[in-house]
Amino acid sequence: MVSTRTSALESLKPDALDPEGATSAAANAAERDALGDRLIQGSMRRSFNSNIDIDWDAPQDPDLFYLPPEMMSLYGTPLWESMTHRQRVELSRQEAANTLTRAVWFENTLNQGLLRAMLHQDPTSRNVHYALTEIGDETRHMVMFGRAVSAIGALPYRLSRREALAVQAMPLAYRGLMLWVAALCGEEVIDESQKQNARHPDVQPIMLQVFRIHVTEEARHIRYAREGVRRRIARAPWWERQFVATANGGAAFILRRLYYDKEVYRRCGLPVREAMRQARNNEQVRARRRESFEGLHGFLTENGLLNPISRLMWRSHGFL
């Protein structure tokens, strides 16, 4: 009886059931750990601490912008042409504060998603160790963004009650493939914009430092998320792929709020309704959005993660 029971138990081992599948799983785990190890080594070579790597007390030139003029929502509009230089600088300050504040809550939701995923993973693996390293990066980014809002003399932009409820629910959907695609939607589009911002000669040095740190560290996060998509999609069921291919279009609405917000114009003393109308119809803003989405659009298309519904949503918010 013992011999029979032992034989039956042996037959239930993964190697006996599917030796090729077990070998493949082991190879995938080794590949994940190898990538995690490389990213950890990169983090050790080039990571930043904004508390010491940014001169928060450096004087700010009242004539320099906080975002490049051409990256601002009203650039080139009739309302922009009617504004003084100082009004334009103030608009850049408020739009920068809006972007930084919203980046804080996105980093918050991403960290929650990564932590939830780790509950089901091997805490000794280098893949998990890099995920923890990324959470450390993102936590420091949250501190950096918060300090930047304060340093430029702006107030943070609060979420409305409806937005707060939506943001609190987002991490619950960050599972499997959705976690990695959500990370890319939040990181890659913003990263493309900041690469341009980080080299602009008319932007405050303190903001250039923030952009450069973020771009450098986000490069590793984007690579990690892209590899996460490739791994997951190879074994994701059809319904999961279809859900993610549809749901990612919701990111277009969230990202659009980085470009213009009623409260920004209210704080600048601009006519809110007219400013919103001109910003929404500003073709230069739409062109920048399309440009920032190009890389992610190509990746999602390549992996079959865009469908007619998500394409419609990205297009209706100016990214296609």
Q: Give the chain's domains with CATH numbers.
A: 62-316 (1.10.620.20)
pTM for this model (two decimals): 0.86
Question: What distance in Å separates the CA atoms of residue 240 and residue 69, rounded to the nearest whole number?
Answer: 41
Question: Which DSSP string do the residues of 37-76 spell out, in sequence order?
Answer: HHHHHHHHHS---HHHHS-TTS---TTSBSS-GGGSTTTT
Question: What distance in Å separates the CA atoms of residue 273 and residue 47, rounded to the nearest whole number?
Answer: 43
Phi, psi dihedral angles at 65 (to 5 degrees): -85, 165
The pLDDT tens digits along the chain (320 residues) read 444 444 433 444 444 445 555 556 677 778 888 888 899 999 888 888 899 999 999 999 999 999 999 989 999 999 999 999 999 999 999 999 999 998 998 899 999 999 988 888 899 999 999 999 999 999 999 999 999 999 999 999 988 888 788 778 888 888 889 999 999 998 888 888 788 777 788 999 999 999 999 999 999 999 999 999 999 998 899 999 999 999 999 888 888 877 788 999 999 999 999 999 999 899 888 888 888 889 999 999 999 999 999 999 999 888 88
Which ranges of the chain does DSSP label H, i.e. alpha helix?
2-11, 14-17, 19-45, 50-53, 78-82, 85-118, 126-151, 161-173, 177-197, 205-233, 238-247, 250-256, 262-267, 272-280, 283-302, 308-316
